[in-house]
Chains A and B, each alone.
Chain A
Amino acid sequence: MKKIRLVLVLSLLASCFMITSCGRGREEVWDDTKSCSRHIKRGFSSLGGKQGDSRQVRCREDFMSQNDNNYGYNPNDEFIPLSDMDYSSEIAMADFSARPAKESPGDPGSPIPGIEAFKDPSTMSETVSIFHNIDFPFDSSLIKGIDNLTIVSSIANYMKKHPNVYVFIEGHTDERGAEAYNLALGSRRANAVRNALVKEGVNSDNVFTISYGKERPLVYGHDEHSWGQNRRAEFKIYQK
């Protein structure tokens, strides 16, 4: 008797949860599931004493910067960060973010010219096979897949051999998000590629980012194939 009642109550609860879920679309359920798992992960991390993300350090070079010039800059010269956001030390931070380049291309007094001096590397024989576009999953700035990582390595190798080459990384999105929001999302993609290059040893002073959002689509289609091509990081280079 008690078992039957317990089964009925549990069935009732399960049904209520399922039917509530049916009131939302599939994308909404997936979106809420991702949000929920994100919060659960943070909660468990806090229980374990982790107040922020961490990553495994594999060797001495991972712990200490390979090139001290790329880390440990003082942002207070330029802006005032929130008091607990320490951008002066990048040691062992999982959320690695390379410091901005010293110069701002095209600005008054900058030795680096503006975008008009940068060229499409696919138009130059030396670089056509190196600077391929990097693609991204929907609403994400993660660099995934062996092809994309190989492109990052190739570009990094080229730039380490050519320290007088400067690169603009353009972050693009597909057409589906809002125009204004996508301008900011493009920035995350461009910076993700920049961070990856700097981690591979490229001088951060040679790498700049532009966020274009969905302002410059590569193709005009309205299908996943077209959207996938438009979610990309693209490159322009300048040789001093």
Chain B
Amino acid sequence: MFGCKNLFRYTILMIAITGLSYGGDNIVVPLATENQLLSIYLSSFQNDSNHHNNAYMARLEEVLRFDLDNNGLSKVVSKDSALEKLALRLEYTEDHNFSKWRNRHIVYAIKVSIRDKEAEAAIVSINGNWIKGAEGIPLNGEIAHDRAQMHVLADMIHKTLFGKDGIAKTRILYTVRNEIPGKKDWTCDIWEADYDGRSAHPILENVGYSVTPQYAPSEPGKRPGSFMYVSYKTGQPKIYLSSLKNPSPQRLTLLRGNQLMPTLSYQRDKIAFISDVTGNPDLFLQDFSPHEGAVGKPRQIVAMPQATQGTPTFSPDGKKIAFVSNKDGSPRIYVINIPPPGSSSKDVNVKLLTKFRRGCTAPAWSPDGQKIAYCARVDGFLQIFVYDLKRNTEQQLTEGPMNKENPAWAPNSLHLVYNANADKSSELYLVNLNELKPVKISSGGGEKRFPSWEPFAAE
């Protein structure tokens, strides 16, 4: 009797504890893991030139300020009149009063001057006892050109401060969808913009409804010059290759049926895509040569007749593919080792990656190979997640209303771009893993979707 009473009390206690743990909203434990960003002071541009007025200088300063403020490693401190005066005389000498900088925890001060038709920057380490320069940035008075030059300057500063390549010079490819007035029809064209969303311009227009553009990794030493996309020009979606400078689309393959979501390996030797030539959307692999195009026949590498497969993404070493399938109910992300030719479906070991979330789609493998970004449904809205492959943990990057989809990695594996949709609008957002504060970068009309981030020039 005594034993039964204790067992009964213990049972009630366990139920109560478990109920408290699960009965309400999920418990969120904030961890103090947000990386510390370096504080930088950017003083107003000094205009020693007669070629550009102050208003123009202010526009260029805004570009550089954005780049330094959104690189995920530094934060630009707000302007301060006292520091502006100090910045005018900023030199690393014993006379200079560095205590005011240190009091504001400023680690680097940057002073940009415009002389004749060139910009130059002085980078002063407040604590480090050095000053370095970045010179010879030509400006010609055309805003598009000079904005690009500010991005070049930002990357030079980034390299000086952090020893790594910056992403300010990189570009983003995406689609812009518009409804045709008076018709139940739409256009969807391919655009390109700087990574900050500016200098946006169409690359391909009026070549059929186009979706999912992707930069093709470049030849060593060169920036990417070509891209792939899917067009409904003839009716069924087919894969095309085109040059950025002189767009002249070429069909990748004359395979029948629908072809969707192509992606090129970093080695530029394989294209993975979805095709329903068998009557079901399965995963195919096409050997590829940048000079010859498709080589040989495409081969099927995942066949699941009862399921829908989608959105393949290569690992950086080109040996694995992550993709979406709803073979176990809700769409989830799976990973396979690319099977060799002649394999059977039983040889393909399909490993589930996203065990907890449901409705997981649009995986994107980071260039450093350590993470996979994707979107998953949380409380009715799609949010962006990052799966850490080393720790086998997932991190939610976004929250709130609007569906966030189609994440694409920057070549630094730190930033992501994605589109966030609500009703008939869709805009592009930037986010980095160190700050988790999305920044809207697109503007203007149309729905901007399916972003692809330009990779670094191959080494």
The one of A4, A31, A98, A181 in contact with B361, judged by C-beta atoms closer than 8 angstroms, is A181
> Chain A: how many interface residues by the 8 Å CB criterion?
68
Chain B residues within 8 Å of A28, by CB = 358
- Given the known interface contacts A115-B234, A180-B261, the answer about A79 and B310 at a Cβ–Cβ threshold of 8 Å is no
A180/B405 in contact, CB under 8 A: yes
A184 contacts B261, C-beta separation under 8 Å = yes
Answer whether residue A124 sits at the interface, using C-beta atoms and an 8 A cutoff.
no
Q: Is A80 an interface residue (CB 8 A)?
A: yes
Is residue B123 contacting chain A, with contact meaning CB distance below 8 A?
no
A187 within 8 A of B: yes
Tell whether A8 pairs with B8 under 8 Å between CB atoms, given A38-B328, A177-B359. yes
Residues of chain B contacted by A105 (CB below 8 angstroms): 234-236
| A63 lies within 8 A of chain B by Cβ | no
Q: What residues of chain B lie closer than 8 Å to A118, measured between beta carbons?
A: 235
Question: In this complex, what residue of B is CB-closest to A103?
Answer: B256
Pairwise interchain contact B300-A1, C-beta atoms closer than 8 A:
no
User: Smallest distance from the beta carbon of B406 to chain A beta carbons, Å?
Assistant: 6
Nearest residue in B to A107 (C-beta to C-beta)? B254
Closest B residue to A4 by CB, please name it. Answer: B4
- Interface membership of chain A positions 48-78, coded 1 if the CB is closer than 8 angstroms to chain B and 0 otherwise: 0000000000000000000000000001001
On whether the beta carbons of B344 and A180 are closer than 8 Å, the reply is: no
Q: Say whether B235 contacts A168, CB under 8 Å.
A: yes
When distances are taken between beta carbons in the complex, the residues of chain B under 8 Å from A178 are 331, 359, 361-362, 375, 382, 403, 405-406
Chain B min CB distance to A169 (Å):
11
Q: Mark A15-56, 1 if CB is under 8 A from B, else 0.
A: 110011011000110011011001100000000000000000
Interface residue A134 (Cβ < 8 Å from any Cβ of B): no
B260 adjacent to chain A (CB < 8 Å): yes
Partner pick for B277 among A16, A23, A79, CB 8 A cutoff: A79
CB <8 Å contact, A35 and B234: no
Residues of A within 8 A of B331 (CB): 177-178, 181
The CA of A195 and the CA of B279, in the complex, are separated in Å by 8
Knowing A5-B4, A22-B23, say if A100 contacts B405 (CB, 8 Å).
no
Docked-complex contact B235 and A180, CB < 8 angstroms: no
Asked whether any CB of chain A lies closer than 8 Å to the CB of B257, the reply is: yes
Chain B residues near A97: list those with CB within 8 A: 278-280, 305
**Chain A residue at minimum C-beta to C-beta distance from B298:** A79
Q: Which B170-203 residues have C-beta < 8 A from chain A?
A: 177, 184-186, 188
* A100 to B: closest C-beta gap in Å: 4
Cβ A23 vs Cβ B22 within 8 A: yes
Chain A residues with CB under 8 Å of B346's CB are 84
Is A81 a contact of B254 with CB atoms below 8 Å? no
Closest to A179 in B: B405
Contact with A along B245-274 (1 / 0, CB 8 A): 000000000111110110000000000001
Contact B310 A183 (CB under 8 A): yes
A188 at the interface (CB under 8 A from B): yes
**Quick check: is A95 within 8 A (CB to CB) of the other chain?**
yes
Q: Which residues of B47-72 are within 8 A (CB) of A? A: none
Residue in contact with A184 in the complex, picked from B254, B299, B309, CB distance below 8 Å? B309
Q: Does A152 contact B (CB under 8 A)?
A: no
Taking a contact as CB atoms under 8 Å apart, the answer to whether A22 and B22 are in contact is yes
Q: Give A38 Cβ to nearest chain B Cβ, in Å.
A: 7
A211 at the A/B interface (Cβ < 8 Å)?
A: yes
The answer to whether A210 touches B274 (Cβ under 8 A) is no
**A residues less than 8 Å from B184 (CB atoms):** 216, 218
* Residues from chain A with Cβ under 8 Å of B211 in the complex: 183, 215
A208 CB, min distance to chain B CBs, angstroms: 7
- With A5-B4, A79-B298, A106-B234 known as contacts, the answer to whether A180 contacts B11 (CB < 8 A) is no
Among A16, A83, A218, the residue within 8 A (CB) of B342 is A83
Q: A178-B382, A183-B237 are in contact. Are A104 and B254 (CB under 8 A)?
A: yes
Distance of B215 from chain A, by nearest CB (Å): 17
**B interface, CB within 8 angstroms of A:** 4, 7-8, 11, 14-15, 18-19, 21-23, 26, 177, 184-186, 188, 209, 211-212, 232-237, 254-258, 260-261, 274-281, 284, 297-301, 303, 305-306, 308-311, 324, 326, 328-331, 339, 341-346, 348, 358-359, 361-362, 375, 382, 403, 405-406, 421, 423-424, 449-450
Chosen A-B contacts, 27 in total, with CB atoms closer than 8 Å, are A4-B4, A16-B18, A19-B19, A23-B26, A31-B329, A78-B256, A97-B278, A106-B235, A108-B254, A139-B330, A168-B235, A178-B362, A179-B406, A180-B324, A180-B450, A181-B362, A183-B237, A184-B260, A184-B309, A184-B324, A187-B260, A188-B308, A191-B276, A209-B258, A210-B235, A211-B258, A215-B177
Enumerate chain A interface residues (CB-CB to B < 8 A): 1, 4-5, 8, 11-12, 15-16, 19-20, 22-23, 27-28, 31-32, 34-35, 38-39, 75, 78-85, 87, 95, 97-101, 104-108, 114-115, 118, 139, 168, 177-181, 183-185, 187-188, 190-191, 194-195, 208-211, 215-216, 218, 220
8 more contacts with CB within 8 A, not counting A99-B279, A100-B279, A104-B257, are A16-B18, A19-B19, A38-B328, A83-B342, A115-B232, A178-B331, A185-B310, A211-B276
